[in-house]
Structure 1
Amino acid sequence: MKEGLILYGAPASGKDTVTAALVAKYPQFEHFRRLKAGAGRTSGYRMISEARANALRKTPGAILWENTRYSATYIVERSGLEQIWQSGRIPVVHIGQVDAIDALRAAEARWTVVELYAPLAALHSRIRSRGTGDDDQRFAAIERTPSLQAADMRIDTGVVSIAEAAEMIARLVQASRNLSG
């Protein structure tokens, strides 16, 4: 069975940092870099044109999730996930919207959902240190990112070290594998 890992959380909750530690130590994981059309940060994304995004929209089932934030469009497309699954790895998908979790579950895979969070002051400090120039938009996005009602695990990245968070997640995914046979 295909499996995937969703790291859910507000901006600056630690999704990039935890993923980097996870894939560095555990080769079965691979960061799924979402497609991005628009301006802003390019690190951690596969950049595409708006024309390419429109072409994907015209292909039924190609896009599992799409959202717009920070004047850019972010896309989780089925073919990118399939490539990771075909390589035998577990995609790690970063999400900040509750509805996206249900949308990804449509990909017919077993998804483990981990919510990353930190105190508001820590999130604001991390955002300021990035120097992206869109702090107010990111602060607003924090306010629009609710806690999950049901996650397989919740990790406070203001307290738990990045290395420990990666280890906790790897153990959770392994336990999930063992339970499902």
Structure 2
Amino acid sequence: MTTRQGVVLYGPPASGKDTVTTALTQLSTSYVQFARLKVGTGKSAGYRMGTAEQLRTLEVANGLIYANSRYGSTYVIDRPGLDDAFAAGVPVVHLGQVDGVRALVDSYEADWSVVLLWCPREVTEQRSAGRGDNDTAARLAAWDATRQDLDAHSDMIWDLTVDTTTVVPHEAARLIDQLLVRRAGAATA
């Protein structure tokens, strides 16, 4: 039996999670961005918009893997959504909390490659302003929270670390793809 592979991209806001995911999907159509369930308002692109009732139903059915609140909304990684993503290919899951990474890796059986994408705080500020975010201050607060999260979880082991200020997106995608190829080869050896 072939082990299913998935990718977790962890990093602060504007570290390149969306950009690197786009580069991965251009490199191979097998990569698919996992659309988290979002309960709240604001940006809907890239999310499956849901309701508080759906969230309660997932909780009761043991379908909730991880949820966090940020920017006035709740963002959910759910078992049914991951099942669908794996049916479509190799899911790429975006996270900004180490607890979320650990919950996913520990709760959903797959060979997860965990990648830290990083950029300095001032780069997050520049990128956020450059893409027209209306909530750059909140994104900088999230950058600070991510830095604190990393410091608090210094024992976290990353399969790959990419500084997105020095590695261009298509090269980051190539490195991630090579990581998955090596892991698949090791699993069959």
- Given the two structures, how large is their TM-score scaled by the length of structure 2? 0.90
2:170: which partner in 1? 163
Q: Please name the residue that 1:91 is paired with.
A: 91
Q: Is the 8 A contact 2:5 2:180 kept in 1?
A: no
| Cα distance in 2 for residues equivalent to 1:80 and 1:130 | 28
What is residue 144 of structure 1 aligned with on the other side?
145
Mapped partners of 1:25, 1:109: distance in 2: 22
The secondary structure found in structure 2 opposite 1:114 is: strand
- Which letter does structure 2 place at the counterpart of 1:152? D
Structure 2 residues without counterparts, runs of 5 or longer: none
Tell me the TM-score normalized by structure 1.
Answer: 0.94
More helix by share: 2
Structure 1 segments (4+ residues) deviating >4 Å = none
Aligned mates of 1:180, 1:77 — CA distance in 2? 26
* Residue in structure 2 matched with residue 102 of structure 1 by the alignment: 102
In the alignment, which residue of structure 2 is the partner of 1:63?
64
Mind listing any 5+ residue stretches in structure 1 that lack a counterpart?
Answer: none
Contact 1:64 1:103 in 2 (8 A): yes
- SS at 2:146's partner residue? coil
- Structure-to-structure mapping, 1:67-78, within 5 angstroms: 67-78=68-79
- Over aligned residues, Cα RMSD in angstroms? 1.3
**Cα displacement (A) at 1:11:** 0.6
- Aligned pair count? 179
Are the aligned partners of 2:121 and 2:140 in contact in 1 as well (CA < 8 Å)? no
CA contact (8 A) 1:41 1:132 kept: no
C-alpha offsets along residues 62-98 of structure 1, whole Å, 9 cap, x if unaligned? 01110000000000001111122234x1110000000
Matched, 1:134 2:156: no
Q: Within 1, Cα distance between the matches of 2:120 and 2:36?
A: 26
Tell me, in whole angstroms, the C-alpha distance in 2 between the residues paired with 1:159 and 1:12. Answer: 14
What are the residue-to-residue correspondences of 1:113-128 with 2, within 5 Å?
113-128=114-129
For 1:69, give the aligned amino acid: R
- Percent identity between matched residues is 38
